[in-house]
Structures are given as structure tokens and as C-alpha cells.
Amino acid sequence: MRNLGAEHANLDQKVHQILKHMIMDRQLLPGEKIPQEKIAQELGVSRTPLIAALKYLEQEKLVESKPRRGFYVRLFSKEEMVSIFELREVLEGLTARRTAQKITDAEIETMARFFSQFDLDREIMDFKAYSREDRRFHTFITEIGAKEFLKSILETTNIISFSYQLINSEGLVRSPDETIHEHLAVIEAISRRDPKAAEELMRRHFKKTIAALTRDIKADEAA
């Protein structure tokens, strides 16, 4: 194999992205061991950048290293999912606050179009489309309100909750008909440039999701 060594600046970031997608797309299943030599060959790189990428993922908690045994795709329990949503509650609350402080008029216009494809009077059937819009919305807010540190944390917590959809097929904990109103309320508060309300509403949105998750867990335990 040719020595790519000095030609590329960042082979491990590339590998990192690929692995992340493999986990998100469930090509690598939770609990599974990651075969280093095999994947390295598939990607046409040596184990060096692959291991670097795996260590990134380890810090992002998407992967776990058992010393002398290798890397395994991480498995999250429902309890851990609750912790992750609690984190998102405070982090995205902060993001919403900051966004309300610094959003531009043009951005407010763009934001107004989010969720407009969905009719409030009719039951939302297309979960996939709604889930996608949900992500787009949270990403949009993040882009405006979060600086790099917060952004990188949010990115990984988001990926975690979306890639480990324990609840239903599209990673939604609650029904769109319930959450769309909360989303619109957040949008409205940000448009008003009301940081306090934006943070409060975003947190309430997550708190409800956490409550739903907790209920699910209790139901499981009863069963």
C-alpha cells in the first residue's frame, strides 16, 4: 500500500466520520466488537488512524474500549438515555437563550419556515419527515447560539440520542402532534428575542420528553 502519510493532513477525522455514520446507520450494532484489521483494510488505511478515530469515539461515548480486548460499540440503557436527555435539557436551554440574544432578522425569517410543512389541524403521519425536521431545527439553533465547545458537546449528545432509538423507529420519544406546539413556542420566543422565555420553553420541552421516557421505564419494570 502506498504511503498516504504525509499527503493528507487528517486521515483520522475522515475515518472518524465514517465510523460515526456506520454506528448511526446501524452497520455496527451496539455491543459488537469492532474488527480493526478488517475495517482498516476496508477503508484502505492502516490501523493507526483507525485507532485514533476509535479513541475519539470513545471520548464521545459511542464506543468503549476494553483494555487488551478491543473496542466495542456502546450500549445505552434507558436510564442512561434519561441522563443524556437531562444533559440536552440544560445544554439546549443555554443554546436557545444565546440564540435569542444574537439571532439576526434574516435568521428569524428562515426559522419561521421550520415545521411549516406540517398542518396543525391534521395528525402528523410522516414520522420520518418530522424527525428530520426536528433535527434540522435543533441543528439550526445550535449553529447560531452555540460556540465551538458547546457545539461539539451538543453534537455528540445529539448523535447519541438519535442513533440509539430505543423508543420507536424514528427516535422520537413522543408524538409529533404533542411536540410540534412546543417547537413552535420556542421559535416564537426566539423570534421575540426573549432569551429567558426561549431557555425556559426549550427546557420544558425536554423535561416533558424526560418524563415520557421515565414513564416508559416504569412501564417496562412493571411488565
Query: Least distance in Å: CB of 133 to its own copies?
Result: 25
Q: How far is CA 164 from the centre of its chain?
A: 10
Query: Least distance in Å: CB of 41 to DNA?
Result: 10
Footprint (CB under 7 A) of DNA, residues 69-98 = 69-71
Footprint (CB under 7 A) of DNA, residues 5-34 = 5-12, 33-34
Q: Is the dihedral of CA 15, 20, 21, 23 positive or negative?
A: positive
Length of the chain: 223
**Which C-beta is closer to DNA: that of 65 or that of 165?**
65
**Which C-beta is closer to its own copies: that of 101 or that of 175?**
101
Beta bridge partners of 73: 63
Chain residues that interact with its own copies, rule: CB under 8 A: 9-10, 12, 51-52, 55-56, 59-61, 67-68, 80, 83-84, 86-87, 89-91, 93-94, 98, 147-150, 152-153, 157
**Which C-beta is closer to DNA: that of 3 or that of 116?**
3
Query: Least distance in Å: CB of 79 to DNA?
Result: 27
* Residue 106 within binding range of DNA, rule CB under 7 A: no
* Residue 122 within binding range of DNA, rule CB under 7 A: no
What is the rounded (10 degree) CA torsion for 70, 30, 218, 132?
130
Non-local (6+) Cβ contacts of 68 within 8 A are none
Beta bridge partners of 95: none
**Cα gap 71→19, rounded to integer Å:** 12
Query: Least distance in Å: CB of 193 to its own copies?
Result: 18
* Footprint of DNA (CB under 7 A): 1, 3-12, 33-37, 45-49, 51-52, 65, 67-71
